[in-house]
Amino acid sequence: MWPTFAAPGLIWLVLLFLVPFYAILSVAMGTLDPIFGAAVPEWNPLRWDATSFAEVMNSTTLQVFGRTCAYVAIAGILSLFIGYPVAYFISRHGGRFKTTLLVLLIAPFWISYLMRMLAWVNLLQDDGYVNRVLMFLQILDRPKSWLAGESLTVVLGLVYGYIPFLILPLYAALDRIDRRLLEAARDLGASPLKTFLSVTLPLSRQGMIAGSVIILLPMFGDYYTPDLLSGSPGNTMTGNQIAFYLQAPSGANRGAALVILLSAAVSVLMIYYLITVARAAREAQ
C-alpha cells in the first residue's frame, strides 16, 4: 500500500527532475546544427562530445565564477551577521512582542522577491530616498548613482533578498534550545558571554549552517538581482552568463555545459545540506 502512495510523487520527480537533468547533459554533450545553430541533444552517452565544456572552461568563466563566489560569500557572511542577532533576539527576548516580531519577520515571504528588489530600484534612483537621506545627513554632497554598476549595491541587494530565508531556520534552531541548559550553565558560574559561546552558539550551529546553505545555493544561480540593480558588465555573475547563452540563438550547448559546471561547483554545498537534513530527520524520528 505505501509504495502506491509514494508512486505518483516519485514518478513525477523522476520524469520532471531526473530526466531534465539528463536532458541538460544531453544538450551539453550534444552537437549544433551547422545551418540553423540549433542545439541537437545527444541522448546516447556513448556518443557524448564534451566540446562545449572545453569551450566554456576558460579564464573568463573562471573569473566570473570567482566574482560570483566573492559576492555570494560576502552576502552570506553579512546575512549571518545581521540575521543571527535578530533571530537570537526574537527567540530569546521577543517577550510580548514575539508574535508581532514573528509576523514582521515572515512578512517578506509574502512579498515577491522581485517586488522587494523593485522597491530598492525605486529607492536607489538618483533622486530617490536613499540619496536624499544621505545628502540630508551630509554623507554625500551629490547624488550617487547606486544603480550604475556598484558591487556594493548588488551584494546588499542579495542580502536584502535572501536574508529572511536565513533568519527563519536560525530562529527555529535557537528557539529549540532548551532553556534549562542555559540556566544550568549560568548556575555553574558561566558568564553570559561564556554561556553564549559554549552553549547557545554550538547548539545553533546546525541552524546557522542549514540557513546559510539555503540562501547560498540560490544566490549562486541568481541573475536577476545584478540585472535589476546594476546592468553593468563589471557585476556579471555566473547566472547571467548562463542566461545569456541559453537565450542566444546558438548558445544552448554552452549554456547547458555551464549549468552542469555550476551544479558541480555547488554540489559540495548541496550534499552537505542533504546530509544535515537526513540527520535531522533521523533525529526527529
| 243 lines the binding site for other proteins (CB under 8 A) | yes
H-assigned helices in the chain: 2-13, 19-28, 51-56, 59-93, 98-106, 113-123, 129-136, 151-176, 179-187, 192-195, 201-203, 205-220, 224-229, 238-247, 252-284
CB of 57 to other proteins, least distance (A): 13
Residue placing its CB nearer to other proteins in the complex, 74 or 186: 186
Size of the site for other proteins (CB under 8 A): 153
Residue placing its CB nearer to other proteins in the complex, 74 or 144: 144
Of 127-146, binders to other proteins (CB under 8 A) are 127-129, 145
| Residue of 182, 204, 208, 257 interacting with other proteins (CB under 8 A) | 182
Decide if 140 contacts 124 (C-beta within 8 A). no
φ, ψ (nearest 5 deg) of residue 178: -70, 120
| 201 lines the binding site for other proteins (CB under 8 A) | no
The closest of 78, 88, 100, 106 to 207, measured between CA atoms, is: 88
φ, ψ (nearest 5 deg) of residue 125: -55, 160
Task: Report the alpha-carbon angle 223-120-229, nearest 5.
Answer: 35
Of 34-53, binders to other proteins (CB under 8 A) are 34-39, 41
φ, ψ (nearest 5 deg) of residue 39: -70, 140
Of 252-281, binders to other proteins (CB under 8 A) are 252, 255-256, 259, 262-263, 266, 269-270, 273-274, 276-278, 280-281
CB of 260 to other proteins, least distance (A): 9
Decide if 157 contacts 179 (C-beta within 8 A). no
CB of 216 to other proteins, least distance (A): 10
| 158 lines the binding site for other proteins (CB under 8 A) | no
Residue placing its CB nearer to other proteins in the complex, 74 or 132: 132
CB of 149 to other proteins, least distance (A): 5
Task: Record the cell numbers describing residue 252, joined without a space.
Answer: 544552448
CB of 152 to other proteins, least distance (A): 14
| Residue of 102, 134, 135, 203 interacting with other proteins (CB under 8 A) | 102
**Residues 88, 81: Cα–Cα separation, whole Å:** 11
Beta bridge partners of 32: 39
| Residue of 74, 99, 137, 279 interacting with other proteins (CB under 8 A) | 99
| 93 lines the binding site for other proteins (CB under 8 A) | yes
Task: Record the cell numbers describing residue 191, joined without a space.
Answer: 558568564
Handedness of CA 268, 217, 104, 136 (dihedral sign): positive
CB of 269 to other proteins, least distance (A): 8
| 94 lines the binding site for other proteins (CB under 8 A) | yes
CB of 157 to other proteins, least distance (A): 11
